[in-house]
Structure 1
């Protein structure tokens, strides 16, 4: 962040506005709405500023420098003269007073964001002066989302804040109460103008409030691109007290979770386990039994090689309530971003999803079934076993020239899609130094990648067998 958002309490605080034109008028009205006592300093002051009440605005017709600035809490430079803005900023620094220079951020200490005022709920958005039109567009969207009833809801909450605090001494309980109340029918009552009924509903729910039971949300975080998260995934990420996440969940996705939620990493990589699955199961049960709402955030989809089924079994056995939110699995997301349709009536009517990791002492793969032509095989976690995979498929009838693709960091800006043939699969991985997370796609549909690729920006031909598309 270039700027830290801060809401300033300016009620009855003195603020100096340097400038007497239309821009100054807009800033003065904003300051007055916040309860500030405003002094306007300018050689020329427009009539609409002079018409403001004398008990709210003092107008001084003078040049900057002819009036002392000491004692003001903030200074707003609302001029279009950079030299004056620089002088105002220098004087403010001399007296430890923060300065805002309108449309001139280099000569200021803070900026005034675009706001949506539904007091006591106020929303602010800013681009730091770098994209003001974009900030304005988002303000317009927020204006549409936040109706008048949003303000009524905020006023109702403010009116009852002390009552709720005295009734529920625990901070977590108060938050749970408000979340339930805001998600309930109160907003509909306020939209219908039924303010008394909304107050009665709040009193009734407060009297009958019971402590939340812990619960777990198994949420699919998708293949990497945070914009591929579902709406429900976002809702549960914002609701959770604790985020228990895998190593495949990107920082960009984690940043969309609730800011004050505790984060616990249970990252697992091939051959390296920071926490065994049974320990993860026990952790989820333990956190839920503590009354916490737990978001178990998994890369891709929790029920496709995410061991979500095992975790649900453990939660079910322990009597813990749980919810499952599907995610876009890596096979679908990465292949789509590489321009590879997993099925195509001219190339493949069957799709197999398999893992390169097997349960110890588990059954061997059905190589004959996997080696059939005119089908697509997608291998999760197959980098380490790629040599065995290539050999077994060829041995059981798959052609050596079957197209293959290895997709690294699928759906992210760092995505690489390396294509070649089945015989050279291990060499592709070694020569291009492919690292996890990576997905292997085997089948005739891979040949369409060069035609349908849309996410990569250019192509590079390394060998007759290998095409590398580097984003």
Structure 2
């Protein structure tokens, strides 16, 4: 059963529970966490349900309710523990469009009851579409431990200021930034410590500051840009700071290689705009990307520039940084896991090793315009000593040319090479070969971008998981003997 999470109000009409036994009592107890009272349709009530009736929390109705008793209900739970009666109730509710839940009988349900974390004004509902209720309970236990017990008090306090904030600031980024300042700052900390008077005073100050800025400037204040490293694709490799930035963004300009799971972490209302580039085909010129970042920040928005890997490792983040500084735009940079590091971690091979490799060099596999790299800026003969690891980005199509240039510089013919496609992603693929095999057979890898190539003795260390191996042919060895 696929379900969409939604919160239902019980203010006007109480929910209906069908059944008078222990199961019905358990469901009524759950509903009474939010409902003032519930209606219970049964001829006999167990002790707990009777106590609810005596306390005015439940009203007993005749058993076997019909259309008139079900129509207009916000929710019906049929817990009669009689299969025929539960099926009858479910059929009536479905015909009337009333959400219905029958415990442990998903085919009869149009609504699922979640595991609930209750913090007063803050309610967290956890569902598994009836597939794994015990898992939902375990998640609830974890959240109960993690969430501050006064979180609901903080939400209630914020609610008491909503009208005042609405009158002081227009709806949009400025109002949201005020609330972010409140929840991230000393006001929230004071409330969570039980110091409500201090929290109210601090919120008053924040509202006054925000309102004064509006009056003095006469226009929306300038926004900011956050350069965020999205990592190699696995959302779990994002930093917590990166996730917070995505949750605060008004607009996200993202690369094509950013994983879908990463984009799903963005604020629901945020604009998601692809400005991705692939080798030799820039869908949006860099100058235009720079202009977009500047324009949106000057319009008062919080802008996230989400870049695959790390913004400052072959990500052109430096160019965007320069363009923003010229316009005096506020900038924050959040680093990301670069693809070379992700590939090494997945393989469980170190890029540096005290006994094998003392340094690591990151290089691009192509130059401007897509040409193979000349490496004129590198002392390849010095790197050929064997104590260095060379990590090549964007080198799938130029791998053979790179291998030949390294061999010409003195790299040994049997030097191990590992190429990793889609590092950290479900479709990750690894190919192990030698530098001489790659030099002779440019198509031997059979990989697609994004991929990184690791040249060095570390590539010959034992790797975790499956690695496809390409064996060197005799003519390859002879060619570079």
Q: Same fold (TM over 0.5)?
A: yes
Structure 2 residues not aligned, in runs of 5+: 214-219, 474-481
Name the CA shift for 1:359/1:371 in 2 (closer, same or farther; >3 Å).
Answer: farther
Task: Work out the CA distance in 2 between the residues paired with 1:461 and 1:353.
Answer: 24
Counterpart of 2:145?
Answer: 144
1:408 Cα deviation from its structure 2 partner: 0.3
The superposition leaves residues 75-116 of structure 1 with CA deviations (integer Å, 9 ceiling, x where unpaired) of 101244444332221121233322111222221101111112
Does residue 320 of structure 2 align to residue 311 of structure 1? yes
Name the CA shift for 1:429/1:418 in 2 (closer, same or farther; >3 Å).
Answer: farther
1:14 Cα deviation from its structure 2 partner: 3.5
1:189 Cα deviation from its structure 2 partner: 2.0
Name the CA shift for 1:148/1:335 in 2 (closer, same or farther; >3 Å).
Answer: closer
The superposition leaves residues 252-280 of structure 1 with CA deviations (integer Å, 9 ceiling, x where unpaired) of 11111211111111111111111122222
1:106-145 maps to which residues of 2 (within 5 A)? Answer: 106-145=107-146
Counterpart of 2:27?
Answer: 27
Counterpart of 1:469?
Answer: none
The superposition leaves residues 135-163 of structure 1 with CA deviations (integer Å, 9 ceiling, x where unpaired) of 12221222233323211111111112112
Does residue 436 of structure 2 align to residue 423 of structure 1? yes
Contact 2:94-2:110 within 8 A present in 1 as well: no
**What TM-score results when the alignment is normalised by the length of structure 1?**
0.91
Structure 1 residues not aligned, in runs of 5+: 466-471
The superposition leaves residues 26-55 of structure 1 with CA deviations (integer Å, 9 ceiling, x where unpaired) of 321333333365221234420220121464
User: Which has the higher mean CA deviation after the structures are superposed, 302-311 or 83-92?
Assistant: 83-92
Counterpart of 2:6?
Answer: 6
What is the aligned counterpart of 2:376 among 350, 358, 364?
Answer: 364
Task: Work out the CA distance in 1 between the residues paired with 2:179 and 2:87.
Answer: 47
Counterpart of 1:437?
Answer: 450
Counterpart of 1:394?
Answer: 407
Task: Work out the CA distance in 1 between the residues paired with 2:337 and 2:297.
Answer: 26
Does residue 463 of structure 2 align to residue 452 of structure 1? yes
Contact 1:370-1:393 within 8 A present in 2 as well: no
Contact 1:127-1:135 within 8 A present in 2 as well: yes
What is the aligned counterpart of 2:349 among 336, 340, 350?
Answer: 340
User: Which has the higher mean CA deviation after the structures are superposed, 38-47 or 247-256?
Assistant: 38-47
Task: Work out the CA distance in 2 between the residues paired with 1:290 and 1:177.
Answer: 17
**What TM-score results when the alignment is normalised by the length of structure 2?**
0.89
Task: Work out the CA distance in 2 between the residues paired with 1:98 and 1:129.
Answer: 15
**Structure 1 residue matching 2:188: 3-state secondary structure:** helix
Contact 1:79-1:102 within 8 A present in 2 as well: no
Counterpart of 2:187?
Answer: 186
1:228 Cα deviation from its structure 2 partner: 0.9
**Structure 1 residue matching 2:436: 3-state secondary structure:** helix
What is the aligned counterpart of 2:394 among 371, 377, 381?
Answer: 381
Counterpart of 2:245?
Answer: 236
Counterpart of 1:282?
Answer: 291
Task: Work out the CA distance in 1 between the residues paired with 2:340 and 2:161.
Answer: 50
1:72-111 maps to which residues of 2 (within 5 A)? Answer: 72-111=73-112
**Structure 2 residue matching 1:58: 3-state secondary structure:** strand
Task: Work out the CA distance in 2 between the residues paired with 1:446 and 1:250.
Answer: 26
Contact 1:12-1:36 within 8 A present in 2 as well: no
Task: Work out the CA distance in 1 between the residues paired with 2:207 and 2:264.
Answer: 32
Task: Work out the CA distance in 2 between the residues paired with 1:40 and 1:304.
Answer: 64
Contact 1:86-1:107 within 8 A present in 2 as well: yes
1:23 Cα deviation from its structure 2 partner: 2.4
Task: Work out the CA distance in 1 between the residues paired with 2:364 and 2:31.
Answer: 61
1:242 Cα deviation from its structure 2 partner: 1.1
1:365 Cα deviation from its structure 2 partner: 4.4
1:374 Cα deviation from its structure 2 partner: 3.1
The superposition leaves residues 165-209 of structure 1 with CA deviations (integer Å, 9 ceiling, x where unpaired) of 122233333222211111111123223432222222222221221
Task: Work out the CA distance in 2 between the residues paired with 1:236 and 1:387.
Answer: 40
Task: Work out the CA distance in 1 between the residues paired with 2:98 and 2:262.
Answer: 38
**Structure 1 residue matching 2:261: 3-state secondary structure:** helix
**Structure 2 residue matching 1:410: 3-state secondary structure:** coil
**Structure 2 residue matching 1:393: 3-state secondary structure:** helix
Contact 1:44-1:61 within 8 A present in 2 as well: no
CA RMSD of aligned residues (A): 2.4
Task: Work out the CA distance in 1 between the residues paired with 2:70 and 2:226.
Answer: 56
Count of aligned residue pairs for this structure pair: 460
Name the CA shift for 1:397/1:127 in 2 (closer, same or farther; >3 Å).
Answer: same
1:239 Cα deviation from its structure 2 partner: 1.4
Task: Work out the CA distance in 2 between the residues paired with 1:306 and 1:241.
Answer: 22
Task: Work out the CA distance in 2 between the residues paired with 1:80 and 1:68.
Answer: 19
